Amino acid sequence: MNVGSLIVAGLATFGTIATVTGQTVIGQTVTGQMVIPPQRVMAQQTAPGEPQQNDRRPSIARINPQKPIQIRVVSQTKVPVVASLGTAVGDRPVAPGKSVTFGRLHTSYLSVPLDLQVTLPDSTDPNNPIGVFLDVKTAGNEIIVGVKTAVSGGGNTSQTVSVDQKGLVYVF
Q: How many CB atoms lie within 10 A of CB 85?
A: 20
Query: Looking at residues 120-144, what average pLDDT do you find?
Result: 84
Q: Model confidence at 127, in pLDDT bands (50, 70, 90)?
A: confident
Extract long-range pairs of 12-20: CB within 8 Å, 24+ residues apart: 12/40, 12/41, 13/38, 13/39, 13/40, 14/38, 14/39, 14/41, 15/39
SS (H, E, C) 116-155: EEEECCCCCCCCCCEEEEEEEEEECCEEEEEEEEEECCCC
Q: Model confidence at 3, in pLDDT bands (50, 70, 90)?
A: very low
Q: How confident is the model over 83-101, as pLDDT tens digits?
A: 999 766 778 999 999 999 9
* Entry pTM: 0.65
Higher pLDDT, 107 or 71: 71
Query: Looking at residues 128-146, what average pLDDT do you find?
Result: 91
Q: How confident is the model over 14-66, as pLDDT tens digits?
A: 444 444 445 444 544 445 555 555 555 555 444 444 444 545 578 999 999 99
Q: Model confidence at 155, in pLDDT bands (50, 70, 90)?
A: low
Query: Looking at residues 148-160, what average pLDDT do you find?
Result: 78
- What pLDDT shows up at residue 163? 94
Query: Looking at residues 102-117, what average pLDDT do you find?
Result: 89
- What pLDDT shows up at residue 55? 56
- What pLDDT shows up at residue 102? 93
The closest of 170, 125, 145, 138 to 84, measured between CA atoms, is 145
